[in-house]
Structure 1
Amino acid sequence: MRQKKLFIAALVFLAVITGSIIYAADHIDAPAVTSQSTDITDLYVFRGQDAGNLVFVANTQGLLSPGATSAASFDENTLIEFNIDNNNDKIEDLAIQCKYDAASNAMLVYGPYPVSEPGTMSKIQGQTTARVAVTAYGDAKPKIGTGTYGIKVFAGPRDDPFFFDLNRYKMILAGTAPGFNNPGTDAFAGTNVLSTVVEVPKFLLGNTNSLNVWVETKKKM
């Protein structure tokens, strides 16, 4: 298989520590990725329903209205890459790479594999370990693909899971509100994202109780 060079287009950082999660969110406030397939909104990592698995979620192309969601699609020239540091040196040791194949309308998963080139440049590593047809907007039965070692994958539009009361936040900054309401008003209600979800057995991630994880979207050169 020909290895393809890619360059970094956007990135969000997340640190996973034993027993807890620190997460980051970013909705189109970087001019270089606004309205692009490379725009990352959120990264989540959490224990699966099977306690022996970890679930990695990368959401992209946020703030999609219901009307725009049916026409939204993954980009075959954009690589979604989960980077995993399992020895706390802040350098990726493993990568899970997800690449859309337009011909089959499927998301292909590579890895987790050892990283041959740490940093902003990447090569697609090895062979596919899982694949799944992209679930269409409004499909009542989400498609779940399975692959090597029990890896599972989903790809398709989802309701944006991130909750933030943006208007109240602005009022707090302006000094016109003392704090957030409980419950607040979700500024992202009614908007969608394109979600890529990969569930991986923990034994594939190294013998460690602590991981640093970040996600990058990378464009083909």
Structure 2
Amino acid sequence: MDKMGEAQLRSALRQKTKQELLDIWVGNKRHEWPDGAFDVIKEELAAKGIKPPAQKNLEESMLKGRDYRKDVGQPFFAVSQKKLALMAFFTWGFYEIYWFYRNWKFLKEKHDFKVSPLARGIFGPLFCYSLFKIVRDYSDQHQAGADMKAGALAACYILMIVTYKLPSPFDLISSFSFIPLLTVQRVINNLGQRLSPQAQVDGRFNGWNIFGIVIGSFLWVLVILGIIFPETGK
């Protein structure tokens, strides 16, 4: 931590009450704070005349409900960001259903989640925050250093989807709802590199993928023609 960062941290900590500082110290959630932050917190406690109490075990402090640290090989659905973007765009969001399905399927098979992956895939927006939060917690527990705001990404994803109710052509914004998923996918792929370096990220386009892109491209042509020549449909 540089001197400016340390000064800003000290200033922020001095605004906190003794109890708030103690809660931070005892909680020991070091993954939520910059390097060296707990040294500063210890000094601030001492300056307030408080002897720092025992802290929670570092590993325990990182667990948030479930323990995702067992070895399961490649975590989640490992697909390249490029493939995810292209498939989601050209299949008009149907690939997003598949994406959610595959990730929930992994959690059910490897971590005993009592869920229906198909239902979670079909109703992806309803459960997107839950999935994003799990990916973030997974990364935290493996100390992969992901800086992912699950709530903000989920809100962005849902808002982009509901734009389909806007008048044409603004309703097409919903076709880019996959953009928040790219951040989640980056975290997933980084996790895969860390936990299973030999695993391959799926960036290939098989026959079904190409078929979906061709059909989707045809639909996009029709939509664009309808926007350019609106009278032709009357």
- Bigger Rg over Cα: 2
TM-score (structure 2 length as normaliser) = 0.25
Higher helix share: 2
Could you say which structure has the higher strand fraction? 1
